Amino acid sequence: MIATDTFTNFGRRQASLKRQPHLVIAETPNPIRQLDQIDLRQRAEAMLDTVVWGLTAPAEIIQAHNQKIAAKTVRPKGITRASHSV
């Protein structure tokens, strides 16, 4: 998946809901609407390593990587998101 940083956490939640723990997200800063062709190309080139890694790395490695990210962003320690366990 390719997304701006504004939508990265949403993309991870959607991947989790669809049981796609191996999904890799290539992220670029938001906004991109005002970028000209040269700047947009630079952003795309900056994401190429992530795209290639997502296409070639073993699913187990990607899943472990994503679990580390999720532990820091989706359910950070000390933050209660519901009054009962989910």
Which spans in the chain are helix H?
8-17, 37-56, 59-73
Q: What is the pLDDT of residues 15-41, one digit of tens each?
A: 888 888 778 999 999 999 999 999 999
Neighbours of 75 (CB within 10 A): 11
The pTM assigned to this predicted structure is 0.71
Residue the block writes with tokens 């991109």: 32
The DSSP 8-state label assigned to residue 28 in this structure reads: E
Q: What is the pLDDT of residues 46-77, one digit of tens each?
A: 999 999 999 999 989 998 998 888 777 666 66
